[in-house]
Amino acid sequence: MVFERSTLALCLRANEFGRSDKLKNYVSASVLSADMLELKNEIKKLEKSRIDMLHFDVMDGIFVDNITFGLPVLKQVRAATDMTLDVHLMITDPMKYIDSFADFGADIISFHIESESDTAAVIDRIHERGLKASVALRPATPVESVFKYLSDVDMILVMTVEPGFGGQSFIPETLDKVRAVRNKISELGLDVNVQVDGGINADTAAAVRAAGANVLVSGSYLFAAADMAAAADSLREDR
Give the three-state DSSP class for 24: coil
State yes or no: is 197 an active-site residue: yes
For the CA atoms of 62, 52, 77, 225, the dihedral, rounded to the nearest 10 degrees, stands at 80
Query: Which of 214, 219, 217, 146 shows the shortest CA–CA distance to 177?
Result: 146
Integer Cα distance of 128 and 198 in angstroms: 29
Report how far apart, in Å, the C-alpha atoms of 146 and of each of 81, 92, 137, 138, 194 are: 32, 18, 8, 11, 12
CA–CA separation, 133 vs 110, rounded Å?
Answer: 6
Residue 57 appears among annotated catalytic residues: yes
Rounded CA-CA distance 6/186 in Å is: 34
Catalytic residue, candidates 57, 86, 107, 154: 57
Coil vs helix vs strand at 161:
coil
- Of 52, 86, 154, 197, which one is the catalytic site residue? 197
Residue of 7, 25, 159, 22 whose CA lies nearest to 89 = 159
- Catalytic residues, which ones? 57, 197
